[in-house]
Structure 1
Amino acid sequence: MTNTQTGSVRFEGVVKKYGDVTALKKLDLAIEPGKLVTLLGPSGCGKTTTLRLIAGLEMATQGKILIGGEDVTHLTATYRKVSMVFQSYALFPHMTVRENIAYGLTVKSVPKAEAAAKAEEGLELVGLAGFGDRLPSELSGGQQQRVAVARAIVLEPEVLLLDEPLSNLDAKLRRHVREEIRQIQQRLGLTAVYVTHDQEEAMAVSDNIIVMNNAEIAQIGTPADLYEAPSSAFIADFIGDANLVACDVEKAANGLASAVLDGQRYTVPSPEIAKGAAQMVLRPHALKLGAPGGSGLKGEVSYAAYLGKEIQYTVETDVGSLFIIAPVKVDPFKQGDVVSVEIETDHARIVGV
């Protein structure tokens, strides 16, 4: 199975209101064909509303929505070339797996033999060949989710939409199924829009992530962009673990800022930022613990947790509590040890207060 119809998605000044409540502020975005883009953010940020607007399950209050270059702003879901995978799977319990996958094709009046053949192709694509005669109740949660993906894909949509597709699975199974979804999307060259509140999940599957907050876009970028170069304290705190500590910017130019932290001067990658009070983003892996007396921040270990592949520390310093992740060593630091904390400035970042 190949997808020759994969399409782009574009929002031009899209607003969604429910009476006096603005669920989505003026939104402009562009999703390229063949890319998997995740809408990520806390509850109530507007990500699900955005997905439903693409699907045609909600109509825009103002603005324009284009799919594959076609203006679909006023078209309902029936007339849009999209398929959606729901959080609840939405499988018919009385139908076999094959019948569930073929259901959308049957509704579109595809001949029975052709629908059955496409359903078998879908089963093979998601690794469930031979499961067609089973009922959904005879499948695991992960297998049911794969059936839901197959049912959406056999319709050959221009855009595949996935709404919190893994939230009903346990952590280990989520990792496995998200890898399968990503592999299928890449193999078919599908344009996919994926909604989740789980930042690790978003980073694992996405070409690009659209982080939303307060009904608008906070930042768009690759997983690495968002982690290494957050544009705000919100992004730094939301994408991965981060220590945010107060600092004072002396100057900033050419992508670098000179900032004073605890009486020491650091040169740190930074967007253009005004002189004065700011925050330094310190990732847990970019902080190195050493013996006391070093040139770094002075601190005391208040907590240490051995997790097999790493040790997690909380260190009390004059700039606040710092969360630090360190590799396992023969003689690790323990609670009560006095230490110095070195900052790897290449992996730090300055953001506004």
Structure 2
Amino acid sequence: MTLSTPGSVRFDSVVKKFGNVTALKDLNLTIDPGKLVTLLGPSGCGKTTTLRLIAGLEMATAGAIHIGGEDVTHLTATYRKVSMVFQSYALFPHMTVRQNVAYGLTVKSMPKAEAAQKADHGLELVGLSGFGDRLPSELSGGQQQRVAVARAIVLEPEVLLLDEPLSNLDAKLRRHVREEIRQIQQRLGLTAVYVTHDQEEAMAVSDRIIVMKNAEIAQEGTPKDLYEAPQSAFIADFIGDANLAECHIDSISAGLATVRLDGQTYQVKDGALQTGAAKMVLRPHNLRLADATQPGIQGSVTYAAYLGKEIQYTVESAIGSLFVISGITERPFAQGDSVSVQFDANHARLVAV
């Protein structure tokens, strides 16, 4: 089986309306060949609508959609070189694994023997050689998901679409299967568009993440870009855990802002803001607790949870409730302890109020 050349995806000013409801507002995006890009955001943000527009399951109200350089705006799903992996897997329980993987090929009138051969190769690509004669009920959830991926890739799509593919798996299995999906995508050089509402999942599998809010793109970039350089309070809070503390920018010089927070002054990367009110983004892992006699933001521990690899604290302070994640220490703080919350300003970021 020879896989198709991975295709690019481009949206030019795409609008999608359902009656009077605008599901997508003037969307412009580009997905490069061979990359895995995740559409991430809360329910109702437009990410699934975007995926369905790529698939041809919905038609754009305005704008143009290109796949592999071809204008597919008015083509239905049947005529687009895309395959989709659904969150429900949608495997036929009465068919063997091989028959499930070959199903799309037989629907296209490929001879059964050739379809079976391609199905076996597809199963080999996802690490399921020798499983062809089993029924889906004889497989684990993770194995069923890989069968769904094999069924999609044997159709030799230019773009592979994955719609919440891990939502039916438990947390431990999700981590394992997402690694497998990422490895398959990279090994085969597939262009993949992945939809999820799970921030950790998105960061683990993506070359690039497109975060959506209210039917438009809020920010896009690599997982590292979004985590370390959020452009808004929404992104800072949505990508990973974040404490957002109100502060005041007194001045900006040479890319550094002089910021007042809880009566203390810090030098922070300015985030292209102006002087005045702002919010400082403090990641829980970048905060550390010290004895209350030490300099820092004074507070009191209201909650402490030992989680084996780390201790999670909630600290009430003059700048609000702070979530702190600490490594295991010989003398952890306890609920009711007075503490000083310290941080390196190099790890802080500023966003607009």
Q: Give the 5 Å matches for 1:1-353.
A: 3-353=3-353
Structure 1: which amino acid aligns with 2:71? D
Q: Secondary structure at the match of 1:39?
A: strand
Q: Secondary structure at the match of 2:51?
A: helix
How big is the shift at 1:263? 0.9
Q: 2:125 and 2:13 mapped to 1: Cα distance?
A: 37
Structure 1: which amino acid aligns with 2:154? V
Q: Secondary structure at the match of 1:251?
A: strand
Do the aligned partners of 2:288 and 2:341 also contact (CA within 8 Å) in 1? yes
Do the aligned partners of 1:3 and 1:189 also contact (CA within 8 Å) in 2? no
Do the aligned partners of 1:93 and 1:137 also contact (CA within 8 Å) in 2? yes
Q: Secondary structure at the match of 2:323?
A: strand
Do the aligned partners of 1:40 and 1:196 also contact (CA within 8 Å) in 2? yes
Structure 1: which amino acid aligns with 2:241? D
Unaligned runs of 5+ in 1: none
Do the aligned partners of 1:301 and 1:313 also contact (CA within 8 Å) in 2? yes
After TM superposition, the score normalised by the length of structure 1 is 0.98
Q: 1:66 and 1:2 mapped to 2: Cα distance?
A: 23
Do the aligned partners of 1:253 and 1:272 also contact (CA within 8 Å) in 2? no
How big is the shift at 1:4? 4.3
Do the aligned partners of 1:252 and 1:272 also contact (CA within 8 Å) in 2? no
How big is the shift at 1:2? 5.6
Structure 2: which amino acid aligns with 1:120? D
Q: 2:251 and 2:110 mapped to 1: Cα distance?
A: 66
Q: Secondary structure at the match of 1:28?
A: strand
Structure 2: which amino acid aligns with 1:295? P
Unaligned runs of 5+ in 2: none
What do the CA deviations read for 1:324-349 (whole angstroms, capped 9, x no partner)? 00111111111121111112212111
* Count of matched residue pairs: 353
Q: Secondary structure at the match of 2:268?
A: strand
Q: 1:47 and 1:255 mapped to 2: Cα distance?
A: 34
How big is the shift at 1:295? 2.2
Q: 1:267 and 1:189 mapped to 2: Cα distance?
A: 43
Q: 1:28 and 1:232 mapped to 2: Cα distance?
A: 20
Q: Secondary structure at the match of 1:309?
A: coil
Q: 1:257 and 1:194 mapped to 2: Cα distance?
A: 37
Q: 2:211 and 2:312 mapped to 1: Cα distance?
A: 27
Q: Secondary structure at the match of 1:43?
A: coil
How big is the shift at 1:11? 0.3
Do the aligned partners of 2:316 and 2:322 also contact (CA within 8 Å) in 1? yes
